[in-house]
Amino acid sequence: MLAAATVTSHDRDSLRDALVTMGEKAFRADQILRHVYKRCATSYDEMTDLGAALRERLKAEIPVMSTAEPEENKSKDGTAKLLVPCADGQLVECVLIPEPPGKSPPERRTVCVSTQAGCPVGCVFCASGLAGLARNLTAAEIVEQAIRVGRLVRQRYDEMDHPISNVVFMGMGEPFYNLDRVIAAIERLNADWGMGIGLNRITVSTVGVEGGVMKLAAHPLAPNLALSLHAPNDEIRARVVPFAKALPVAEVLAEGVKYQQKTGKDVTCEYVLLGDINSGPEHARELAKRISGKGLKVNLIPYNAVEGLSYEAPGSKAVAEFSRILEAAGIPAPVRRARGDRIAAACGQLRLKKIAAPSP
């Protein structure tokens, strides 16, 4: 039997149509959407402005969520990772990153969402690729990650309005292999009737795959773009991102520049620094030469140890020197603080632990 369509699988028009088909007034859809996207309600029991009989009917005919209650893993710095169970048993990771750490309420409440269960790309530093790809997530499963993290923020910070300020599509998966659903999720995150998050506060990342970037650039909902570069040249990139379908470094950068010109949105290069592989001053100089003058920024991310992988993080001096070389070439190159190490905050690690050691 097919699962019932959930509130999160609808947009406003289709939810209104579904309510009218049930013999209800269309405005009920707006009430429900307000509860789900503004107050992060995950059940009809919280929607007390709907009659009890209607709530019971809706539970059976249009459930609110497709996913179940998540397991929460907290870190001392405020970062929290949720492991969200899908209806078919797949587990999906999403992360709350409050910034600045320790501020209450934090100025930025960023959620990092996954777009696939597992990942086909297999970056060598990442736990998500270790078990390969299970399947694409639905738009509902993607947007529910933001709702569940928003709910956590509201519980923590006095039921605050606008609990999610930023969304990054940087969790498990290659978003451009699930682009139509990613765009549908962006619509729900951005719309007035949805979470109302501006496109300049939404970022989609990619390793760079044929045709993907310019397809997104042509869409009216094009957000900011992050290029998962991780190497200054093709030889090192083939070691770090050993995925045959990933575009060469020159093409990834060219796509990024075209995207920026067409959309006017921010484009950043993500660069995970691995000791002895891509983090030497010679790599920084080579990268600076390739990027200089293109208007791109580089986010430097010192490697976060993954169980089962033998890579090492570079020392803090090497990280600072890498950043200094890029900055001296006029390229903004902030170092992203390690957050949530204690809860294995890097992509895919919690899911991998569960797969390796399922609960009894």
Mark the segment that binds ligand SF4 (CB under 6 A) among 26-34, 169-177, 180-188, 323-331.
169-177
Of 120, 10, 136, the C-alpha closest to 63 is: 10
- Known catalytic residue at 40: no
Binding-site member from 7, 126, 325, 326 for ligand SF4 (CB under 6 A): 126
- Known catalytic residue at 159: no
172 binds ligand SF4 (CB under 6 A): yes
Instruction: Please state, in angstroms and rounded to a whole number, the distance separating the CA atoms of residues 28 and 22.
Output: 11
Please, what is the minimum distance in Å from the beta carbon of residue 208 to ligand SF4? 10
Binding-site member from 147, 207, 222, 301 for ligand SF4 (CB under 6 A): 207
Of 121, 140, 142, the C-alpha closest to 132 is: 121
95 binds ligand SF4 (CB under 6 A): no
Binding-site member from 63, 70, 122, 194 for ligand SF4 (CB under 6 A): 122
Give Cα 99 distance to the centre of its chain: 16
128 binds ligand SF4 (CB under 6 A): yes
> Of the listed 112, 126, 269, 347, which one is catalytic?
347
Which residue stretches of 173-226 are H helix?
179-190, 212-217
Please, what is the minimum distance in Å from the beta carbon of residue 347 to ligand SF4? 5
> Please, are residues 197 and 167 in contact by the beta-carbon 8 Å criterion?
yes
Residue nearer to ligand SF4 on the CB measure, 37 or 125: 125
- Per the rule left: phi > 0, alpha: psi between -120 and 50, beta: everything else, 275 is beta
Instruction: Please state, in angstroms and rounded to a whole number, the distance separating the CA atoms of residues 84 and 272.
Output: 26
- CB within 8 A of 12, min separation 6: which ones? 29, 30, 33, 191, 193
Please, what is the minimum distance in Å from the beta carbon of residue 129 to ligand SF4? 3
What tokens appear for 116 in the block? 């696939």
Of 112, 98, 67, the C-alpha closest to 160 is: 98
Binding-site member from 99, 174, 187, 286 for ligand SF4 (CB under 6 A): 174
344 binds ligand SF4 (CB under 6 A): no
343 binds ligand SF4 (CB under 6 A): no
What tokens appear for 260 in the block? 């920026």
- Could you list the residues that contact ligand SF4 (CB under 6 A)? 119, 121-123, 126, 128-129, 172-174, 207, 228, 347-348
Residues carrying an active site annotation: 93, 347
